[in-house]
Amino acid sequence: MKKFPFSFLVVPSVLAQEWSNANNPDAPAKIQDFAVVIQRILNIAIRMAGIAAFIMLIVGGFQYLTAGGDPKKTQAASNTLTYAILGLVVVIGAWFILLFIEKFTGVEVTKFNLPSQ
C-alpha cells in the first residue's frame, strides 16, 4: 500500500484558511470557499514559476561555468539559460496581458471570484 505524502494532508487546510464559515467549523463548506482555494493555488503557482526560473538560471550558470570549453556542455548550458529566461518572459508577459485586459475592459481577470447568489 502506498502512503500519501504529508503535504496531501496539510495543503488543503492551508489553502482554505479563509473559509466563510470560520466562526462555525461544523457548518458545511460553501462554493465561495472553493474560490479562496483556487485563488491561493494561482498565487502559489505564479510564485513557483518565478522560483523555478531563478533556480534554472542558477543551474544554467553553473553548467556554463563547469563546461570547461566542451562545446556540447556549453550548448546545453546556453539552452538552459535561454529557456529559463524565455519561461520567465512568458510568465511575466501573460501576467501583463491579464493586467492590460483588466485595465482596458474593467473586468477583474487577475482575481478569481465566483458570482454570489
**Amino acid at the residue 113:** N
Q: Which residues contact 114 (CB under 8 A, 6 or more apart)?
A: 31, 32, 34, 35
> 40-59 burial, b if ≥16 CB within 10 A, otherwise e?
beeeeeeeebeeebeebbee
Q: Is the Cβ–Cβ distance between 101 and 107 less than 8 Å?
A: yes
Query: Nearest to residue 33, comparing CAs of 50, 18, 13, 14?
Result: 18
Predicted local confidence at residue 7, as pLDDT: 53
Residue 25 has pLDDT above 70, yes or no: no
pLDDT tens per residue, range 33-91: 676 777 778 778 888 888 999 899 999 999 999 998 899 999 999 999 999 999 889 88
